[in-house]
Amino acid sequence: MSHQPGATATHPVLRVPPAAPADAVAHFRASLAFHTDVSDVAAALHTGGDPGFVLLDSRSAESWDQGHIPGAVHLPTALVAERAPHLLDPAVPVVTYCWGPGCNGAARAALALARLGYQVKEMLGGFEYWAREGFGYETREGEGRRAADPLTAPADAGRCGC
């Protein structure tokens, strides 16, 4: 469906008009300052060198044992204020994750870290999308990996091309 210049939009998508381009630039720049995604984190961790950030799993001990991203630091959200100064270097950015899109534990952990003066981003999708995209993980019993979910995993081995 093409949009005719000057036509009034009555369908739900444009019921509220898009933001002005300058406002959109500010919004999306800010969003990218606060969020990263599973594919970008995986690419950074798989380079073999220092990724330039610490990955922090903010879930419970039981969830950590069930599965976590290799190399992540375990620090439950409720313990961030107490333990972060002993575990994390304030000069190194932190990327937080929790279970998945239906959980705000990573956002709460990021808020607690920011209040302590850390630079922080949240990994969108959390552990759920890490596993769904077919990346390896560790459990209490050892290593694991699931077949990539074709609805979530990029076709190009972890790079969506965007």
The CATH code of the domain that includes 133 is 3.40.250.10
Would you say residue 85 lies in a domain?
Answer: yes
- 68: containing domain: 36-144
Would you say residue 131 lies in a domain?
Answer: yes
Tokens of 82: 């107490």
Q: CA nearest 88: which of 104, 59, 112?
A: 112
Q: What is the pLDDT of residue 150?
A: 87
pTM, to two decimals: 0.87
Q: How far apart are CA 96 and CA 73, in angstroms?
A: 9
Radius of gyration over every alpha carbon of the chain, rounded to an integer in angstroms: 19
Would you say residue 157 lies in a domain?
Answer: no
Would you say residue 11 lies in a domain?
Answer: no
- Those residues whose C-beta lies under 8 Å from the C-beta of residue 124, and which sit 6 or more positions away, are 35, 36, 37, 38, 101
Would you say residue 63 lies in a domain?
Answer: yes
Instruction: Encode pLDDT of 22-50 as tens digits.
Output: 999 999 999 999 999 999 999 999 988 89
Would you say residue 81 lies in a domain?
Answer: yes
H runs (alpha helix) in the chain: 21-34, 38-45, 61-66, 80-87, 105-115, 126-132
Residue 14 confidence (pLDDT) above 70: yes
Instruction: Encode pLDDT of 47-80 as tens digits.
Output: 888 999 999 999 999 999 999 999 999 999 999 9
Q: What is the pLDDT of residue 12?
A: 87
**Beta strand 120-124 with 137-139: parallel, antiparallel or unpaired?**
unpaired
Tokens 């950590």 -> residue: 64
- Those residues whose C-beta lies under 8 Å from the C-beta of residue 2, and which sit 6 or more positions away, are none
Would you say residue 4 lies in a domain?
Answer: no
Would you say residue 162 lies in a domain?
Answer: no
Tokens 């998945």 -> residue: 100
The CB density around residue 23, as the number of other CB atoms within 10 Å, is 10
Number of domains the chain is built from = 1
Q: CA nearest 38: which of 109, 124, 105?
A: 124
Tokens 């790079």 -> residue: 159
Q: CA nearest 71: which of 51, 92, 101, 99?
A: 51
